[in-house]
Structure 1
Amino acid sequence: MGIQIRYATESLVPTLATINIQSFAGQGFITNTFPNIADDVIHELKRKRYLQKLAHPRTHVVAAVDEDTGEVVGCARWLFPPSGAEGGAGEKEGEGEEDIGSQLSSEEAAAEARAELELPPGTNRGIYDGFFQVLKEKGEKYYREDDIVLEFIATRPDQQGRGVGKALLRWGMERADKQQRRIYLEATTPGFPLYAKMGWESLDKAEIDYTRWGGEGTQVLTLMVRDPQQQQ
């Protein structure tokens, strides 16, 4: 019973959107940003966002698949630096690792991905913009242009403890080591122990005070990096 990491396609997008929502439920961002907005509306927003990520040439969207059942049990998004950025110059299967190109196979999906992403009525735009602004301002002190960025990683809640997160992390770690690049991320409190165990170091903390924009509660994210390991 193993976990296989595969590149995602648009057929998996609804499942990836569901895993995204389920994995981050209760951490503050979704409930504060989309108060009293129906679940299906939030899901549709996430679905469209994943199409945009699949279309982005430097964003690698991967899915963790249970080899026995074929079910998607986790996912991750890795942003690679632009070609020509200082650092390693690794190779991917048949092409440059940094520029994967679109992961969309149909023109219909590509056209939808090009459309402007509209937030649903009732969105707390202050929280939506403020959340990412806080992380951007904090990250400017530490993020480097040649870093690989782990934008997102999630395991389906009922699959926790099976090594799904480790498999998704190793996928990116292997490529980072091959290219001799750092990996930068912003860790949630639940995710922090795994990153620390697998070699990431803490740089700083970013506190999101949702009450600042009319929400409730706070959330702390830890800025972390993992230096590349020399390959044997």
Structure 2
Amino acid sequence: MAAKYVVKEMKSKVEMDAIMDVIWAANYDPYDTYAQLFFPVLGYTPTAREDAITESKNRFWGNHNSTPTSNWYYVEDVTNGKVVGCAQWEVYTQNPFKNGPPTLRAPWWPEGEYQEFCEEIIRQVYTPRTNWMRRPHLALNWMAVIPTYRGKGIGSLLMSIGTSQADELGVECWMEASSMGKKLYEKHGFRSLFKMQFDMDRKNASDVWRKCVHELTPTTVYPMWRPTHGIWELEGDSIKFPWERGAA
């Protein structure tokens, strides 16, 4: 029997646009604060939302084309041609942080405290990765499945794409996970290293900053790691965690 779902690699702007539609749908059901951090709707009208969607589609397409390590995959329902899930795996064949942590910016926000807040959240999220993953590895940056297609194995198809490639290369994997996806990732050999809470205190904070803290601080994030081949138990030896491994 032919498979109902197939995984394809994104190659065109049309495919990227369909992927972004999945991400928008998935992050609003249930609502995830990350949706507003990365895709701010700067207004309260349908037009404002459409403008935000268009901006995000152009931004992600541009970022993909300017990032050699970026690989986007999507799952298509072959019965109707609908894109129902997606994932971005970045493949690093060398130390991506040999020049130190990158400067992380959020230009999709207007200049000001909202942009500063978003940049500080991103900095805190990526600090463990930039400190510990200074070796060849695969990183899962985005994973989304349309709500009506959850529980059908689509997430596992997208996970297998990355973990299979990591195993072929003999490298580790990394991600920053939400609570909702954590169980799926554990099934594919990942484990949570710790539970991240955000420190967004600012001396003499303005009303705008306090509003950001109240409305935009993400829920719990779990930095997760998968050792080479997903092997956690070694005969006669203990496994070395990312912070024990050093740079390539």
Bin for the TM-score computed over the shorter chain? 0.7 to 0.9
Matches within 5 A, 1:127-206: 127-206=117-196
> Is 1:7 the equivalent of 2:9?
yes
- Tell whether the 8 Å contact from 2:41 to 2:49 is kept in structure 1 after alignment: no
- Does the alignment pair 1:119 with 2:119? no
Distance in 2 separating the partners of 1:32 and 1:120: 9
The equivalent position to 2:58 in structure 1, one of 35, 44, 48, is 48
1:66 matched to 2:77 = yes
Q: In the superposition, relative to structure 1, how do residues 71 and 211 fare at CA in structure 2: closer, same or farther (>3 Å)? A: farther
Residue identity in the other structure for 2:146? R
TM-score in terms of structure 2 length: 0.71
Residue-by-residue CA offset, 1:97-122 (whole Å, 9 max, x unaligned): xxxxxxxxxxxxxxxxxxxx952548
Secondary structure in 2 matching 1:229: helix
Q: What is the SS of the residue equivalent to 1:183?
A: strand
Per the TM alignment, residue 218 of structure 1 is displaced from its structure 2 partner at its CA by: 4.3
Counterpart of 1:29 in structure 2: which amino acid? Y
Task: String of CA shifts for 1:51-91, please: whole Å, max 9, x gaps.
Answer: 12431222111111112222110111111114x559xxxxx
- Unpaired runs of at least 5, structure 1: 87-116
Alignment check: 8 A CA contact 1:207 1:221 kept: yes
Q: Does structure 2 conserve the Cα–Cα contact (< 8 Å) formed by 1:65 and 1:74?
A: yes
- Check 1:181–1:14 CA distance in 2 against 1; reply closer, same or farther (3 A cut): same
Q: Which has the higher strand share?
A: 1
Q: Equivalent residue of 1:151, what SS?
A: strand
TM-score (norm 1): 0.76
Return the offset for 1:223. 0.5
Larger radius of gyration between Structure 1 and Structure 2:
2
Q: Using the aligned pairs only, state the percent identity.
A: 19
